[in-house]
């Protein structure tokens, strides 16, 4: 999953520090543990591009977490009052530094682009861009395709200056040609920022504004994956972008338009189960309240199952962090004590996102420690938000037994996950999913539980839609194998399994080792681009029109691992390293 963010200030103050702060709040969408970052090729990446005087772009991006990569020194060099940020973990292409976002194209106008989601017709798009648009695609990233489609559509206007209608039209063209999930933020040099959400509203996105502190009567605007960014940065009145809608923000204000009619409104329910922060509200549904409702529903099920089996539970124990909210609710409903029996090492991140099964397994143990006094001689009910590969459950059940538990019952707030996610969550291979091809009893035996209780899909959907009844449908494909966009065939699933299963990624990881880039003679992890030599003019035009694009002096560190596509095998290369003028 990824986090996207864009901010446009009313003033020309530097926006980079706020973008970095916002990205920190989205880090859970691309979180990976410290051990991985130092021991192996890092999967996570992040980046910021700002637009400064004379429409010049300033960029810092690369592998690593926000707090490490976007340090004060780097941020000080990112000039300008508008910018785009991205926190990535890959669902297409590789984890190579060259695929870190935001992406940039110089033509037309200078566009910077960040994407959360995953496209399902990339072969087709790649073919079109190669054979018809004649645009060079330099990585295996689906997001680079999306940006180039957008650029192609804007290019077709043939205009020196574009306006809002041109952008809306270009976004419509993109939506009409792409299939899959996408929430995107973009920026045009010297013009403004814009964003859009796919016609099924699968990935979340919204916007907000606040009064400028420096420009009287002016507004600062932001758009982001989750509302938590809006709250923390002091923006107000969060508005969700609708499926098929695009928004354009310039210094003149915001315009929203439905560019294609919504096909469905089916947000990915896994955002509520696991991905999103509990303090976010997505499409009018508080993630926290939906997780409470999941706990309530699971309690009813658990009571019935436990009674039927004649089991009396002594204690309910959550698997930190995500399941805590639901587990507390479940314990209260059952009238059983809730105890934090697993202590989490706060310096270890989310294990689910880590690359490679062996690493994930080891790190469950590094991350969680069982306190014997909460397990010894007890019948324990362990609650997790989901059981995906079964790595966590298998390890912690063994830990519970080692700590003296008499019986271990496992409960999952989500139903069994049996199908890949093709919309931006890295669950690409059926074979890796513990419940694929297994009954509940078989899953239970595999993870070593005495009994395993899963939420029903009906209860999960009800838990989310009860908070906002206007959202009647969710993408539940990981549970059902029914994909809201359609067009996800058996052939396609086998194809992505071939590209993205753990074993394939392990090989690709070696090929995709991040390029080291030299900036001003220093070796750095980041693609750090400083373009302007001295303060120039305004960074954003009065809005409405762009004057022939911005001025960008260099692009850095390009390399390619190849998706195996027949039409593209671009060479590894580095273009224009070094600082232009400063
Ligand atoms: O069955 P698995 O493949 O192990 O995946 C499921 C687990 O992964 C996630 O935890 P994670 O450690 O990523 O994050 P958290 O701290 O937010 O719970 C999720 O909350 C489950 O605990
Ligand atoms: N998780 C995501 O949203 C990833 C975005 C995009 N598909 C990439 O791999 O970079
Ligand atoms: Mg967890």
Query: Which pLDDT band, with edges at 50, 70 and 90, does 356 fall under?
Result: low
Q: What is the mean pLDDT of residues 61-82?
A: 94
Residue at token pair 């839609």: 465
Strand ranges, E, within 175-214: 180-188, 192-197, 206-211
Q: What is the mean pLDDT of residues 393-414?
A: 97
Highest mean pLDDT, choosing among 20-34, 144-158, 531-545: 144-158
Instruction: Indicate the domain borders of the chain.
Output: 3-266+508-529, 293-469
Q: Give the CATH number of domain 3-266+508-529.
A: 3.60.20.10
Report whether pLDDT(111) > 60: yes
116 lines ligand 2 (CB under 6 A): yes
- Residue 63 per-residue DSSP state: E
384, pLDDT greater than 90 = yes
pLDDT category at 558 given cuts 50, 70, 90 is: very low
pLDDT in the model for residue 87: 97
Mean pLDDT, rounded, of the chain: 86
Catalytic residues: 2
**How many CA atoms, within 13 angstroms, populate the side-chain half-sphere of residue 243?**
21
User: 26 CA distance to ligand 2 centroid (A)?
Assistant: 14
State yes or no: pLDDT of 517 exceeds 50. no
Does 283 carry a binding-site annotation?
no
Would the pLDDT of 447 be above 90?
yes
Query: Residue 145: CB within 6 Å of ligand 2?
Result: no
* Token couple for 137: 């695609």
Q: Best of 29, 61, 116 to mutate for ligand 2, by most ligand atoms within 8 A of CB? A: 116
Sign of CA dihedral 575, 578, 581, 582: positive
Average pLDDT of the segment spanning 224-231: 98
pLDDT category at 500 given cuts 50, 70, 90 is confident
CB of 378 within 6 A of ligand 2: the answer is no
**DSSP β-bridge partners for residue 49:** 59, 84
Taking the C-alpha atoms of 60, 80, 173 and 560 in order, what is their torsion angle to the nearest 10 degrees? -10
Sorting pLDDT into bands at 50, 70 and 90, what band is 531?
very low
Report residue 359's pLDDT band, with 50, 70 and 90 as the boundaries.
low
- pLDDT, residue 198, reads 98
Query: Residue 520: pLDDT band by 50, 70, 90 thresholds?
Result: very low
- Across the beta sheet with 192-197, the strand order is 103-105, 111-119, 180-188, 192-197, 245-250, 253-258
pLDDT for position 473: 96
Percent of the chain at pLDDT exceeding 90: 75
Buried/exposed 31-57: b ≥16 CB within 10 Å, e otherwise: bbbebbbeeebbbbbbbbbbbbbbbbb
Identify the helix (H) or strand (E) that includes residue 428.
none
pLDDT of residue 162: 94
Mean pLDDT for 49-57 is 96
Reported ipTM: 0.98
Any idea which residue has 């890796």 for tokens? 432
Sign of the CA dihedral 334, 401, 387, 491? negative
Q: What is the pLDDT of residue 561?
A: 29
Let me know if 481 is exposed, middle or buried by CB neighbors in 10 A (0-12, 13-18, 19+): middle
Q: Mean pLDDT lowest for which of 61-75, 317-331, 337-351, 539-553?
A: 539-553
> Which ligand 1 atom sits closest to the C-alpha of 319?
22
The verdict on domain 293-469 having CATH code 3.40.50.2020 is yes
């Amino acid at each position: 999953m990824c986090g996207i963010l864009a901010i446009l200030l009313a003033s020309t103050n530097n926006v980079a520090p706020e973008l970095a702060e916002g990205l920190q709040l989205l880090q859970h969408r691309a979180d990976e543990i410290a051990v991985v970052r130092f021991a192996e090729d890092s999967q996570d990446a992040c980046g910021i591009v700002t637009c400064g005087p004379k429409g010049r772009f300033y960029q810092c991006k690369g592998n690593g977490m926000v707090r490490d990569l976007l340090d004060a020194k780097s941020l000080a060099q990112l000039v300008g009052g508008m910018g785009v940020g991205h926190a990535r973990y890959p669902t297409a292409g590789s984890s190579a530094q060259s695929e870190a976002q935001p992406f940039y194209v110089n033509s037309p106008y200078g566009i910077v682009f960040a994407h959360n989601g995953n496209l399902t017709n990339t072969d087709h798009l790649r073919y079109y861009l190669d054979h018809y648009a004649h645009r060079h695609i330099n990585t295996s990233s689906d997001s680079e395709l999306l940006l180039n489609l957008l650029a192609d559509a804007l290019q077709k206007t043939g205009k020196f200056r574009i306006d809002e209608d041109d952008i809306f039209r270009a976004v419509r063209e993109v939506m009409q040609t792409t299939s899959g999930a996408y929430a995107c933020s973009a920026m045009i040099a010297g013009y403004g920022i814009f964003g859009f959400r796919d016609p099924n509203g699968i990935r979340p996105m919204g916007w907000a504004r606040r009064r400028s502190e420096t420009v009287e009567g002016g507004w600062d605007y932001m758009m982001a994956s989750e509302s938590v960014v809006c709250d923390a940065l002091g923006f107000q009145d969060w508005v969700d972008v609708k499926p098929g809608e695009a928004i354009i923000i310039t210094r003149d204000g915001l315009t929203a338009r439905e560019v294609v009619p919504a096909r469905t409104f089916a947000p990915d329910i896994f955002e509520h189960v696991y991905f999103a922060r509990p303090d976010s509200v997505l499409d009018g549904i508080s993630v926290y309240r939906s997780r409470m409702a999941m706990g309530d529903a699971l309690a009813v099920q658990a009571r019935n199952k436990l009674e039927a089996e004649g089991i009396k539970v002594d204690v309910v124990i959550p698997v930190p962090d995500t399941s805590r909210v639901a587990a507390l609710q479940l314990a209260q409903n059952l009238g059983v004590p809730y105890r934090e029996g697993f202590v989490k090492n706060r310096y270890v991140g989310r294990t689910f996102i880590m690359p490679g099964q062996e690493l994930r397994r080891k790190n469950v143990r590094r991350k969680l420690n069982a306190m014997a006094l909460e397990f010894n001689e007890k019948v324990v009910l362990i609650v997790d938000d989901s059981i995906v590969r079964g790595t966590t459950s298998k390890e912690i059940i063994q830990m519970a037994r080692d700590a003296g538990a008499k019986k271990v019952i496992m409960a999952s707030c989500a139903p069994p996950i049996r199908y890949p996610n093709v919309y931006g969550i890295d669950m690409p291979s059926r074979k890796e999913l513990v419940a694929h091809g297994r009954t509940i009893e078989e899953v239970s035996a595999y993870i070593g539980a005495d009994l395993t209780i899963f939420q029903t899909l009906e209860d999960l959907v009800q838990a989310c839609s009860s908070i906002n009844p206007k959202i009647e449908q969710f993408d539940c494909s990981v549970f059902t194998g029914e994909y809201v966009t359609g067009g996800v065939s058996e052939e396609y699933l086998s194809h992505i399994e071939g590209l993205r299963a753990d074993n394939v990624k392990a090989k690709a990881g070696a090929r995709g080792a991040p390029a080291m880039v030299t900036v001003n003679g220093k070796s750095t992890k980041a693609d750090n681009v400083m373009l302007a030599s001295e303060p120039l003019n305004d960074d954003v035009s009065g809005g409405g029109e762009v004057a022939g694009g911005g001025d960008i002096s260099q692009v850095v560190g390009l390399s390619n691992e190849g998706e195996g596509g027949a039409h593209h095998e671009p060479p590894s290369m580095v273009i224009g390293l070094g600082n232009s003028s400063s």
